[in-house]
């Protein structure tokens, strides 16, 4: 039994589906069901007794304490977070509440629970905190990739809130002995990702013949990690990772945003050829005003997790992206369910053409 926070979101839902398929043991899924949480992501587990869903807030300490006491999990896997940079720029308060105060609340209850355990139960317990490469700041074109010892330099309210949560997790290990581990991942993509993010937004806009809005000059670089590879890495860290350590998880796939969009267009040209007057989906690319504090480049050095734990991504960017495009084309019902009026208003506000 494990307790997962934020398990109805993009990465959390993929992780739960992957966990039950590979490990087979039960999961308690605590999710507040904000805009990013979608119970439909876990529809295939509706009648599966191994998935116990609880709607609730990680800041509700009484609820968290009750779940820990009742289900006695061997691990807490902490995904729950506000995670969209643009949203953090326009409304940072909720990011501090969820990412900083929420993580503190969860750590306090996990510490109390773990402290009361004895013997093998206490030895097995892990608190795994899932974080981001954005805590490290921005890289120049020729700078070496982020390692686990790179100094923190967050540049957005989102990144700062995640950096604060990382520091709290570290402190709870070193001060109280809580067997906590942190993972910092690069940009995830794959099935179930909300279409406010770059890759699903471009897939769906192109398929509907809409403009493909690219920030600035499109040359911002990200390292892209297929969500299935990320889930496999987290399972491995839970099993073999050393408490008190940090593991960077990357896809070894640095791409400019413009490269990503053009690759999506090329895959769509093949899988769903455009209708006249559109001859190539790339003709829909447009450039919009850059967002404030837009980090130029992220890159992950995943040497540590490769050498210590034996993990490496199974997907290349091209294979993972093709799987992702196919998934969105084949799941029109899921797409329709998340494209609410509020969502469309958000897109219009943040990707308006210059």
One-letter-per-residue 3-state SS of the chain: CEEEECCCCHHHHHHHHHHHHHCCCCEEEEECCCCCCCHHHHHHHCCCCCEEEEECCCCCHHHHHHHHHHHCCCEEEECCCCCCHHHHHHCCHHHHHHHHHHHHHHHHHHHHHHHHCCHHHHHHCEEEEEEEHHHHCCCCCCCCCECCCCCCCCCCHHHHHHHHHHHHHHHHHHHHCCCEEEEEECEEECCCCCCCCHHHHHHHHHHCCCCEEEECCCCCEEEEEEHHHHHHHHHHHHHHCCCCCEEEECCCCEEEHHHHHHHHHHHHHHHCCCCCCCCCHHHHEEEECCCCCCCCECCECCHHHHHHHCCCCCCCHHHHHHHHHHHHHHCHHHHHHHCCHHHHHHHHHHCCCC
Nearest to 126, CA basis, from 71, 176, 73:
73
Catalytic residue chosen out of the listed positions 136, 158, 189, 281: 158
What is the average pLDDT score of the chain?
94
Query: Residue 198 and residue 38: Cα distance in Å, rounded?
Result: 19
Cβ atoms of 298 and 146 within 8 Å: the answer is yes
φ/ψ of 224, rounded to 5, equals -100, 130
The CATH class of 2-193+224-252+294-315 is alpha beta
Low-confidence ranges of the chain (pLDDT < 50): 354
| Alpha carbons within 13 A on the beta-carbon side of 156 | 24
Task: Give the pLDDT confidence of 272-299 residue by residue, as tens digits.
Answer: 999 999 999 999 999 999 988 788 999 9
pLDDT value of residue 354: 45
φ/ψ of 20, rounded to 5, equals -70, -35
- The full set of domain ranges for the chain reads 2-193+224-252+294-315
Residue 176 annotated in active site:
no
Catalytic residue chosen out of the listed positions 134, 166, 196, 315: 134
With a CB cutoff of 8 Å and minimum separation 6, the contacts of 90 are none
Cβ atoms of 30 and 4 within 8 Å: the answer is yes
Residue 134 annotated in active site:
yes
Task: Give the pLDDT confidence of 37-78 residue by residue, as tens digits.
Answer: 888 999 999 999 999 999 999 999 999 999 999 999 999 999
Q: How many residues does the chain have?
A: 354
Residue 133 annotated in active site:
yes
With a CB cutoff of 8 Å and minimum separation 6, the contacts of 237 are 128, 181, 183, 247, 305, 309
Nearest to 230, CA basis, from 4, 11, 7:
11
């Amino acid at each position: 039994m494990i307790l997962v926070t934020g398990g109805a979101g993009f990465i959390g839902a993929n992780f739960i589906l992957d966990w039950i398929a590979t490990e087979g043991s039960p999961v308690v899924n605590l999710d507040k069901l904000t805009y990013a949480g979608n119970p439909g992501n876990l529809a295939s587990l509706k009648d599966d007794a191994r998935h116990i869903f609880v709607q609730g807030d990680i800041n509700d300490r009484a609820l968290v304490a009750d779940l820990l006491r009742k289900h006695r999990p061997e691990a807490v896997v902490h995904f729950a977070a506000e995670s969209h940079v643009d949203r953090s720029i326009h409304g940072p308060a909720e990011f501090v509440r969820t990412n900083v105060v929420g993580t503190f609340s969860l750590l306090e209850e996990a510490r109390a629970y773990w402290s009361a355990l004895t013997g093998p139960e206490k030895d097995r317990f892990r608190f795994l905190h899932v974080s981001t490469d954005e805590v490290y700041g921005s890289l120049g074109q020729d700078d070496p990739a982020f390692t686990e010892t790179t100094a923190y330099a967050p540049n957005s309210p989102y990144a700062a809130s995640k950096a604060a949560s990382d520091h709290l997790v570290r402190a709870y290990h070193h001060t109280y002995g809580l067997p906590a581990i942190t993972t910092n991942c690069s940009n995830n993509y794959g099935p179930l990702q909300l279409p406010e993010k770059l890759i699903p937004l471009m897939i769906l806009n192109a398929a509907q013949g809409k403009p493909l809005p690219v920030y600035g000059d499109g040359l911002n670089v990200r390292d892209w990690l297929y969500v299935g590879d990320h889930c496999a890495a987290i399972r491995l860290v839970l099993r073999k990772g050393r408490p008190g350590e940090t593991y960077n998880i990357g896809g070894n796939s640095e791409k400019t945003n413009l490269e990503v969009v053009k690759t999506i267009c090329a895959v769509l040209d093949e899988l769903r050829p455009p209708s006249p007057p559109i001859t190539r989906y790339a003709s829909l690319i447009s450039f919009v005003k850059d967002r404030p504090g837009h980090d130029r480049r992220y890159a992950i050095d995943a040497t540590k997790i490769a050498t210590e734990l034996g993990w490496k991504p199974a997907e290349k960017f091209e294979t993972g992206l093709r799987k992702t495009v196919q998934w969105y084309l084949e799941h029109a019902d899921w797409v329709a369910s998340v494209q609410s009026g509020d969502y469309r208003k958000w897109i219009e506000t943040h990707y308006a053409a210059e």
